[in-house]
């Protein structure tokens, strides 16, 4: 957040290695840089630069469960060079994706939690470094970005900046800021073919992620608004601005659409109103910081062959799907079934080129796979270190073709070890979701292809819990599902039965058009 460290990197897929360059602006006695499962300093894989006051050392180290540092017997962070410059010290080193060293982090597709710590005093040995006393931090990135060729922009490309109007960032750790923008009257249909972030200089560490949403076309007008998204002053109607046009998260680059497709906006049947949402992350609680960040859209009047669409896969937002408290890896699965794709997709199929995974605070891992004729054929997107605090639209390494009769299966893994009550599905931040927004072309009428467990089987579950339980649990049908879940005593039996029920009970399928009308 103070701008002391700057990381650049490139990926060599032929050599299966990442080259890192760290610029350290105000070097004291060294630093730690590395990776860990969820950004903790225990059980971390670290490159350490340290000085005893006269000599400097560099080495590959790891920390144990107590946070004690150890030199790694196999040195896998390879130092390529170090040079002083007016702006600071540049440190260059490389690391293979996979090292076959049990103490090393395996670099995979998806989110990587990078950790850093500044050494403020000289240290005589690596073991003498006390991790708990270090001024450190965490940054999430997608290290292994796909090598895509950047398409040429047409000569009639125009740009439009959707940016915050010089707002004062609130002096609190987390703020979601909402700002309404109106397109000019009579704005004809265009294709968005690329977008990129516009970040106010000096705020690079505060702007966490940003999204531009288009409002629902069924309303003629939307009120203007500029303020926190959770404010009581926010007009109710802004909740109908949910169609994602662009999404950016820290560490992401510009987003390009494939040459054959663009996102339609403007013209008939399309709302003129857009909502910008910015998540400010201000852990040092700076006061009075002004910001005009946002997203720059590149669009063209020369329409491409296909409109790009967005489809929601995963679980329906319903309390029927719940996670017991105290679970370290509870799995829920949502289906887009063969019957739905058979009905809704064109014969030539669709092409998925990007994906944005989404859960709330308990989500730890999200995977979507494509299955054909009952066999898993290929992965659509997978993030084994998923974090709800880092959600970006990611381009896929290869385009995934989906044909009528294919199935798309989305599995989410949750951790509720810090909760004492069951966590139910729903829209609230303490409720859960399991979603993959896939970006594809050509656009079809299918906007949502999700499932949930059949409600009748949940009632049978509550009856069973009742029968095996000594205390009377109120499982009366007139009580809401979340209330029934909150009165379940979470012993091993009740947990295991729920887990296996989610595995085998029949599902209720939502195969929806955009207007929330289901395909027959």
Q: Are residues 17 and 46 in the same domain?
A: yes
Enter the tokens of residue 445: 């009428």
d(CA 102, CA 16): 18
Burial class (CB in 10 A: 0-12, 13-18, 19+), 517: exposed
Cis peptide before 514 (omega within 30 of 0): no
Q: Residue 115: CA atoms inside 13 Å, Cβ hemisphere, count? A: 24
Residue 65 located in a structural domain:
yes
Q: Are residues 76 and 214 in the same domain?
A: no
Residues sharing a CB contact under 8 Å with residue 217, sequence separation 6 or more, in sequence order: 269, 270, 271
Residue 469 located in a structural domain:
yes
Which one of the listed residues 208, 358, 360, 385 is annotated catalytic? 358
- Residue 398: give its domain's CATH number: 2.60.120.230
Work out how many domains the chain is built from and give that number: 3
Q: Are residues 134 and 198 in the same domain?
A: no
How many angstroms separate the first and last alpha carbons of the chain? 52
Q: Are residues 166 and 197 in the same domain?
A: yes
Residue at which a domain ends, from 141, 169, 190: 141
Is 273 annotated as catalytic?
no
Q: Are residues 281 and 378 in the same domain?
A: no
The answer to whether 32 and 115 are in contact (CB under 8 A) is yes
Q: Are residues 169 and 253 in the same domain?
A: yes
Enter the tokens of residue 174: 């987390």
**Following DSSP, what letter does each residue of 177-238 receive, concatenated?**
EEEEEEPPTT---EEEEEEEEE--TT-TTTEEEEEEEEPPTTSS-----EEETT-TTS-GGG
Q: Are residues 359 and 401 in the same domain?
A: yes
**Strand 261-265 versus strand 306-307 pairing type:** parallel
Q: Are residues 300 and 314 in the same domain?
A: no
pLDDT by residue for the chain (520 residues), tens only, comes to: 778 899 999 999 999 999 999 999 988 899 999 999 999 999 999 999 999 989 999 999 999 999 899 999 999 999 999 999 999 999 999 999 999 999 999 999 999 999 999 999 999 888 888 888 888 899 999 999 888 778 889 999 999 999 999 999 999 988 999 999 999 999 999 999 999 999 999 998 889 889 999 998 889 999 999 999 989 999 999 988 888 888 887 767 789 999 999 999 999 888 999 999 998 988 888 999 999 999 999 999 999 999 998 899 999 999 999 999 999 999 999 999 999 999 999 999 999 999 989 898 899 999 999 999 999 999 999 999 999 888 788 999 999 999 999 999 999 999 999 999 999 998 777 899 999 999 999 999 898 999 999 999 999 999 999 888 766 655 566 788 999 999 899 999 999 999 999 999 999 999 988 666 788 8
Among residues 87, 116, 81, 83, which one has the least CA distance to residue 26?
87
Residue at which a domain ends, from 304, 336, 352: 304
Which one of the listed residues 176, 225, 240, 457 is annotated catalytic? 176
CA dihedral 136, 139, 145, 150 (to 10 degrees): -120
d(CA 204, CA 412): 31
**Strand 435-441 versus strand 309-315 pairing type:** antiparallel
DSSP letter at 428 equals S
Q: Are residues 123 and 97 in the same domain?
A: yes
Residue 404: Cβ within 10 Å count: 17
Q: What is the pLDDT of residue 471?
A: 64
- Residue 24: give its domain's CATH number: 2.60.40.1210
Q: What is the pLDDT of residue 157?
A: 96
Residue 271 located in a structural domain:
yes
Residue 354: Cβ within 10 Å count: 23
What are φ and ψ of residue 461, in 5° steps? -60, -50
Helix axes 455-468, 492-504, angle to 10 degrees: 160
Note the Cα 33 to chain centre separation in Å. 23
At 453 the three-state DSSP class reads strand
- Residue 232: give its domain's CATH number: 2.60.120.310
**This prediction's pTM:** 0.86
**Strand 261-265 versus strand 226-228 pairing type:** unpaired
Enter the tokens of residue 63: 């920390």
The answer to whether 423 and 432 are in contact (CB under 8 A) is yes
d(CA 93, CA 82): 9
Q: Are residues 178 and 292 in the same domain?
A: yes
Q: Are residues 125 and 195 in the same domain?
A: no
d(CA 39, CA 294): 27
Cis peptide before 146 (omega within 30 of 0): no
What are φ and ψ of residue 493, in 5° steps? -60, -50
DSSP letter at 387 equals -
Residue 351 located in a structural domain:
yes
Among residues 315, 303, 306, 312, which one has the least CA distance to residue 411?
315
Which residues span the domain enclosing 332? 309-513
Residue 247 located in a structural domain:
yes
The alpha carbons of the chain give a radius of gyration, in whole angstroms, of 25
DSSP letter at 148 equals P
Burial class (CB in 10 A: 0-12, 13-18, 19+), 23: middle
Note the Cα 129 to chain centre separation in Å. 33
Q: Are residues 232 and 364 in the same domain?
A: no
Residue at which a domain ends, from 257, 285, 304: 304
Residue 482 located in a structural domain:
yes
């Amino acid at each position: 957040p103070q701008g002391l460290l700057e990381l650049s990197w490139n990926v060599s897929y032929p050599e299966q290695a990442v080259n890192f360059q760290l610029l350290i602006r105000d070097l004291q006695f060294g630093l730690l840089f590395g990776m860990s499962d969820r950004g903790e300093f225990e059980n971390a894989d670290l490159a350490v630069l340290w000085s005893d006051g006269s000599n400097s050392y560099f080495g590959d180290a790891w920390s144990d469960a107590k946070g004690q540092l150890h030199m790694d017997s196999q040195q896998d962070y390879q130092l390529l060079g170090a040079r002083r410059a007016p702006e600071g010290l540049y440190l260059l080193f490389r690391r293979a994706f996979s090292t076959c060293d049990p103490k090393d982090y395996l670099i995979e597709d998806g989110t990587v939690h990078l950790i850093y710590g500044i050494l403020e005093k000289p240290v005589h040995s690596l073991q003498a470094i006390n991790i708990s006393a270090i001024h450190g931090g965490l940054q999430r990135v997608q290290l292994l970005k796909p090598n895509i060729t950047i398409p040429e922009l047409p000569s009639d490309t125009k740009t439009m900046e959707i940016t915050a109007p010089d707002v004062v960032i609130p002096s609190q750790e987390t703020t979601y800021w909402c700002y309404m923008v109106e397109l000019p009257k009579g704005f004809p249909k265009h294709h968005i073919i690329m977008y990129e972030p516009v970040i106010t200089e000096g705020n690079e560490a505060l702007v966490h992620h940003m999204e531009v949403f288009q409002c629902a076309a069924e309303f003629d007008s939307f009120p203007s608004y500029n303020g926190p998204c959770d404010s009581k002053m926010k007009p109710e109607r802004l909740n109908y601005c949910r169609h994602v046009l662009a999404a950016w998260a820290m560490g992401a680059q510009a987003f390009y659409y494939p040459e054959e497709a663009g996102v339609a906006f403007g013209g008939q049947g399309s709302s003129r109103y857009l909502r910008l949402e910015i998540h400010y992350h201000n852990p040092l609680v700076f006061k009075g910081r002004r910001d005009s960040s946002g997203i720059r859209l590149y669009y063209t009047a020369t329409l491409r062959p296909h409109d790009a669409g967005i489809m929601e896969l995963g679980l329906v937002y319903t309390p029927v799907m719940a996670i017991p408290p105290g679970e370290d890896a509870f799995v829920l699965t949502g289906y887009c079934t063969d019957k739905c794709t058979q009905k809704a997709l064109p014969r030539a199929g669709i092409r998925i080129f990007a994906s944005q995974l989404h859960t709330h605070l308990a989500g730890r891992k999200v995977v979507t796979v494509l299955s054909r004729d009952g066999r898993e054929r290929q992965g659509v997107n997978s993030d084994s270190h998923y974090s709800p605090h880092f959600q970006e639209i990611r381009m896929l390494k290869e385009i995934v073709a989906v044909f009528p009769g294919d199935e798309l299966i989305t599995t989410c893994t949750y951790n509720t070890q810090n909760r004492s009550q069951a966590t139910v599905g729903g829209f609230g931040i303490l409720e859960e979701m399991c979603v993959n927004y896939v970006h594809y072309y050509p656009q079809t009428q299918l906007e949502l292809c999700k499932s949930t467990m059949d409600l009748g089987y949940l009632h049978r579950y509550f009856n069973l819990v009742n029968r095996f339980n000594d205390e009377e649990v109120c499982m009366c049908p007139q009580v809401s599902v979340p209330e029934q879940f909150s009165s379940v005593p979470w012993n091993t039996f009740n947990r295991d039965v729920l887990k296996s029920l989610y595995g085998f009970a029949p599902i209720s399928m939502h195969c929806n058009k955009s207007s929330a009308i289901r395909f027959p």
